[in-house]
Amino acid sequence: IGEALSRKLIVPGNTIFAVSRTLNEDLVELASSLNVPLFYHEADLCQPENAESFILDVFNRINLGPFDRIALITNAGMLEPVSPVKSIDFALAQRHLNLNLLTPMILSSVFLDRTDGLDIQKVILNISSGASFIAYSGWSVYCSSKAGLDMLTQVAGLEQTAVLNPAKIFALSPGIIETAMQELIRTTDETLFPERDKFIRLYEEGKLSNPED
C-alpha cells in the first residue's frame, strides 16, 4: 500500500519523503525519471528513535514557505504476533506497538508541532484496518494497535478544531488488499488464527483489492 501511494504522489510539483526498512529502487527510478524530488530514508520504525529522527530530518530539510500544502501518511505496520492472549510474545508485541501505534503518534506529534499556525493545507492520513473495530481471535495486538490508531486520529482531530489553520486528520480502513500481510495471514497456523480459511477463500475467489486500486 505504501508503494502504491508513493507512486500516485510522485508527480511533478510534489516533493516526497519516504521511509522504509529497505530502499525501494523502483520508486527512486520513477522519481528520477519524472524529475520529482524524492528523499529516501532506510530505517526500522519499530525503533521509536528512528521515527523521531526521520520526521525531524524532514522538517530540517524543507522550507515551508513556498509550499501550499503538506501531508503526512502513516502506513508502516505489522501483523505479528498472532497468538492467543495467554501466549503473547511480549518482545514482539513491543515492536508491534512501537511500529503500529507509537510511530504514528511520534510522526503526528512532530508534524502538528512544526506546522502549527501555517496557513496552508495540512493533512494527516493514517492507514487503519477493519480490525480496529472487529475482534479477531489471535489478533489481540493487531486489533488493539489499530483501535489505538483510530482513537489517536480522533483525539488529534478534536484538538485541531480549537486551533487556527487546523490540520485535517483521517484514518482510512482500505479493506482487504492483496499485500505481503495477506500472504502471511494465509500461511498462519489455524490454531493461532481460527479465521484463516476465510481469508484463503477471499483470495481464491478473487475478492481482494490491488494496492493500486
Cα–Cα dist 184/163, whole Å? 42
Let me know if 136 is a catalytic residue: no
Of 40, 136, 142, 203, which residue is the catalytic one?
142
Cα–Cα dist 53/44, whole Å? 11
Residue 48 Rama label (left phi>0; alpha psi -120 to 50; beta): alpha
Annotate 98-167 with DSSP letters as a single string: IIIIIHHHHHHHHHHHHHTT--SEEEEEEE--GGGTS--TTBHHHHHHHHHHHHHHHHHHHHHTTSSSPP
Residue 211 Rama label (left phi>0; alpha psi -120 to 50; beta): alpha
Give the residue numbers annotated as catalytic, written as ranges: 142
